[in-house]
């Protein structure tokens, strides 16, 4: 189990982000969970200097949404992580949930 990504300020999913995911999921005929939402877990490798080396989304059967979530996490984390105590690269986890009206 990976430790949670230590954000200074929690990211905020905007209505535009939710709409984009909804359009992509419908347009690409992605598996849609009940209730008008999609959740993407993302593993994040943070380097010694606190920079983001890579983000890896967990597969949910919707590649565009997976890649979008991974890119958002990288952007949300840039200059927004708490200081770390170790000097080694470390993996963390985070989750993004996109919602829209049903």
42 DSSP β-pair partners: 57, 94
**In total, how many domains does the chain have?**
1
Q: How many helices (H) and strands (E) does the chain have?
A: 2, 4
34-83 pLDDT per residue, tens: 788 999 999 999 998 899 999 999 999 999 999 999 999 999 999 999 99
Give yes or no for residue 87 having a pLDDT over 80. no
Q: Is 1 exposed, middle or buried (0-12, 13-18, 19+ CB in 10 A)?
A: exposed
The rounded distance, in Å, linking the Cα atoms of 101 and 75 is 26
Instruction: Confirm whether 102 is domain-assigned.
Output: no
Question: What is the extent of the structural domain holding 81?
Answer: 3-97
Instruction: Say if 92 falls within a structural domain.
Output: yes
> Within the chain, what is the greatest distance between any pair of CA atoms?
46
Q: What is the pLDDT of residue 91?
A: 97
Report if residue 27 sits inside a domain: yes
pLDDT in tens, 5-19: 999 999 999 999 999
Give the span between the Cα atoms of 66 and 43, in whole angstroms. Answer: 12
Please state the rounded mean pLDDT for residues 15-24: 96
**pTM for the whole structure:** 0.93
């Amino acid at each position: 189990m990976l430790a949670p990504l230590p954000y200074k300020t929690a990211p905020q999913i905007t209505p535009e982000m939710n709409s984009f995911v909804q359009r992509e999921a419908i347009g690409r005929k992605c598996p849609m969970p009940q209730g008008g939402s999609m959740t993407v877990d993302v593993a994040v490798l943070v380097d010694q200097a606190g920079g983001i080396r890579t983000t890896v989304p967990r597969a949910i059967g919707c590649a565009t949404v997976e890649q979008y979530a991974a890119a958002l996490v990288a952007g949300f984390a840039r200059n927004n992580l708490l200081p770390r105590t170790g000097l080694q690269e470390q993996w963390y986890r985070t989750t993004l949930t996109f919602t829209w009206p049903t």
